[in-house]
Amino acid sequence: MNYRNKYVFVCLLAIATLLSATSFQPALAQAPSLGATSSFSVLGAAVTCTTSVITGDVGATGAFTNTGCTITGGTPPATDTAAGLAQAALTSAYMAINPINPLNCGTTISTAAFTGNVPALGPLAPGVYCFPAAVAFTDTTLTLDGSTNPNGIWIFEVGAALTGSGFQVVMINGAQPCNVFWSVGAAVALSTSTLPPLFQGNILAGSTGGVITIKGGILIGRALANGAVTMTGTNIQGSCALVDQAVAQATASCTDNDHEKDKDRDHDKDKDKDKDKDKDRDHGKDRDKDHDKDSDRDR
């Protein structure tokens, strides 16, 4: 293996290691491409954060209101120029899986309200689950089971609003929250009840005017909305966005380093060519000297 191939192999191995945390190799569903949205933990037309913690980047095309909110591992912009591009990518990702297309639904769930633990709702294997209209969960635990495919994708398509009070999403047998997508056709409202909810997955409120309101609890994933995002007393753990950022940085670093090494090799080749030219010139001069000596002897 030559040096260049060995270097490329090392870079690809590093990227593959990072990707292993959120491998997108679905068995039953295809994850939407988030594009420019992938680096954001929170994205909205306006973002209001009160006494909360956010890990990762926050993007707002309008106002960003921070009242006792701590942001770590990312940027806290008042307005973010990258947010405009991310909003367009969000719309594309949302439209790829919503509005609901019955042909794409592995399972259609017509129940509009769930209270307490519902055995029929879990554990759920990877796949596409469709709620044709609005759905509400009260003190309900939804279990996602990765035993058939830990790298599988879960897509929940909700035709209208998603409401959760004490609604928990639990991952078992290697299931990964970054592989869960909630595509919601209207508002998303999550709040505490008798349980401190742990909600896992990427929320895509990508419809026109789609908003997200979270009060209390923990979200592991992303909160992405076309409209406003409001958080109060919430912990947003944006590990999914941070992994994507790390992969992008590793890819860029490998590409840049490889480009620099190519330039160095080209420079070395140019120097070798110059040396060869100098040798040729010196050799020519030596031949001229020998010719002059021969001419002197002939005289």
- Condensed to tens digits (0 to 9), the pLDDT of residues 5-48 reads 444 343 434 434 333 333 333 335 899 999 999 999 999 999 99
Q: How far is CA 189 from CA 54, 80, 125, 243, 298, in A?
A: 18, 25, 25, 26, 106
Q: How far is CA 184 from CA 162, 163, 213, 234, in A?
A: 7, 10, 13, 20
Strand partners, 183: 157, 204
Q: Is the pTM of this model over 0.85?
A: no
Domain boundaries, the chain: 42-248
Q: Chunked in runs of 10, what are the mean pLDDT values of the chain (299 residues)? A: 44 39 47 93 95 94 93 76 91 88 88 88 93 94 95 95 94 95 96 79 92 96 96 92 66 54 59 61 59 54
